[in-house]
Amino acid sequence: MTGSSVNAKRLLGRLLELGSIGRDDNGRLIRLAASDTDKLGRDCLTSWMREAGLEVAVDRIGNVFGIWTPSGAAGSTKPLMMGSHIDTVINAGIFDGCYGVLSGLEVIETLKTGGFDPVRPIVVGAFTNEEGVRYAPDMMGSLVYSGGLDVDEALATVGTDGSVLGDELARIGYAGTHEPGFMQPHAYVELHIEQGPLLEREGVAVGAVENLQGISWQKVTIEGDANHAGTTPISMRRDAGLAAARVITFLRERAKASITPTVATVGRMEFEPNAINVIPSKATFTVDLRDPDEDRLLAEESALAEYLNKLAAEEQVTISTERLARFKPVAFNSNIVAAVEVAAAARGLKSRRMTSGAGHDAQMIARIAPSAMIFVPSIAGISHNPKEHTPDADLIAGANILLDVVRKLTASED
């Protein structure tokens, strides 16, 4: 049938074209939120939206929407929304976020050209500041859109460069007038590269993302005594570095002994005084705990707290913790997840249910609408890196699954 598959050449061409915008003198892709290069990316996206005959709407936090309201859909009907983001990290790859936005646009154009007549409007959104590099927190545009953060508070955010987000949005011409949340989605579907290694390793083309991990970030500070490495017997040491090392091995042993998908990471570590012949008096490090189940995440936090208490006594050190971030896990809508599996099977593609290990705009929109995500393989799991890559065939397959799921969700009133 007409419109049964997306226009592969157009989609791949747009990914390359958008990926060429915002390169610095060293060829690095940098489109930080509300920057001059973000403006160039937005201008490109909105021109494609207009060429496709979509209405372009921008809300006060700068989220950009391309809206297709077909003749058969009443203006008041809740739209089916697709989306992601086009802001990037520093020295980014070209797929993170952009793939979801451009595929959403591609899906609308394919359906429109193919004469499909949906029962509700279909919208593709590009949310402001998903990456959170210039302004904290990340996923800001979708968080504001779903009512999780006041828009005026968000606009007052001061960036790492001293700029104010609201001023910058106005400067680049993307301070819109719509109130965030002005369209209540009927459902939300986000297509994204996995940014992890599972699909590629298992040779699976499509991830039907059923949930998104909860995240617990803590900073742990351990204080002992800085004594001479040569003259202090082992039994008299209060070694903050040793205690920190024991936390790392504890977390790994616990994860390995468990059958749950819990992941724990110690990514940052600082010793003081950090001298070769001085026992560390202080070790400061971060613990990143993630689990798709809130009860298990709470249990992991408790187990860590209990271990730190025991450790403090055993090693005669002082331990304090500070919470840096905490997000509950998000369960996606099971009907949409099932629709992704059905669509993959119908196209003869292998799929698997999976958890998102990273944060996405979908976790915010899930607060206000039934939501789910579709993942495609990331080669070697690499992301936030110019080496980020997904083969063309996988990109097209993912866009076609999105097409099928959106068609299903807009074909009838259910």
Interface positions with its own copies (CB under 8 A): 194-198, 201, 213, 215, 217, 227-234, 236, 239, 241-242, 244-249, 252, 255-256, 261, 263-271, 274-280, 283, 286, 288, 290, 324, 356-359, 381-384
CB 218 within 8 A of CB 364: no
**Distance of closest approach, residue 179 Cβ to its own copies, in angstroms:** 32
What are the DSSP calls for 126-194, one per residue? E-TTSS-SSSSSSSHHHHHHTTSS-HHHHHT-B-TTS-BHHHHHHHTT---SBPTT-S--SEEEEEEE-
Q: What stretches of 213-295 adopt beta strand conformation (E)?
A: 214-223, 263-265, 269-272, 282-291
**Distance of closest approach, residue 239 Cβ to its own copies, in angstroms:** 8
* Shorter beta-carbon distance to its own copies: residue 12 or 278: 278
**Distance of closest approach, residue 169 Cβ to its own copies, in angstroms:** 26
* Shorter beta-carbon distance to its own copies: residue 50 or 252: 252
Kind plus residue range of the DSSP H or E element containing 362: helix 361-365
**Distance of closest approach, residue 413 Cβ to its own copies, in angstroms:** 37
* Shorter beta-carbon distance to its own copies: residue 347 or 384: 384
Exposure letters 19-53 (e unless 16+ CB within 10 A, then b): bebbeeeeeebbbbbbbebbbebbebbbebbeebe
* Shorter beta-carbon distance to its own copies: residue 123 or 366: 366
**Gyration radius of the chain over CA positions:** 24
How buried is 263 (Cβ within 10 angstroms: 0-12 exposed, 13-18 middle, 19+ buried)? middle
CB 101 within 8 A of CB 45: yes
**Distance of closest approach, residue 298 Cβ to its own copies, in angstroms:** 18
* Shorter beta-carbon distance to its own copies: residue 60 or 246: 246
How buried is 278 (Cβ within 10 angstroms: 0-12 exposed, 13-18 middle, 19+ buried)? middle
Residues 410, 104: Cα–Cα separation, whole Å: 14
* Shorter beta-carbon distance to its own copies: residue 78 or 384: 384
CA angle 248, 253, 256 (to 5 degrees): 125
* Shorter beta-carbon distance to its own copies: residue 278 or 338: 278
- In this structure, the strands spanning 282-291 and 263-265 are antiparallel
Exposure letters 373-395 (e unless 16+ CB within 10 A, then b): bbbbbbbebbbbeeebbbeeebb
**Distance of closest approach, residue 266 Cβ to its own copies, in angstroms:** 6
**Distance of closest approach, residue 140 Cβ to its own copies, in angstroms:** 17
**Distance of closest approach, residue 142 Cβ to its own copies, in angstroms:** 17
Q: Which residues contact 198 (CB under 8 A, 6 or more apart)?
A: 204, 207, 352, 354, 381
Q: How many residues does the chain have?
A: 414
* Shorter beta-carbon distance to its own copies: residue 21 or 226: 226
* Shorter beta-carbon distance to its own copies: residue 109 or 131: 131
**Distance of closest approach, residue 237 Cβ to its own copies, in angstroms:** 8
**Distance of closest approach, residue 320 Cβ to its own copies, in angstroms:** 17
* Shorter beta-carbon distance to its own copies: residue 70 or 261: 261
Residues 18, 40: Cα–Cα separation, whole Å: 9
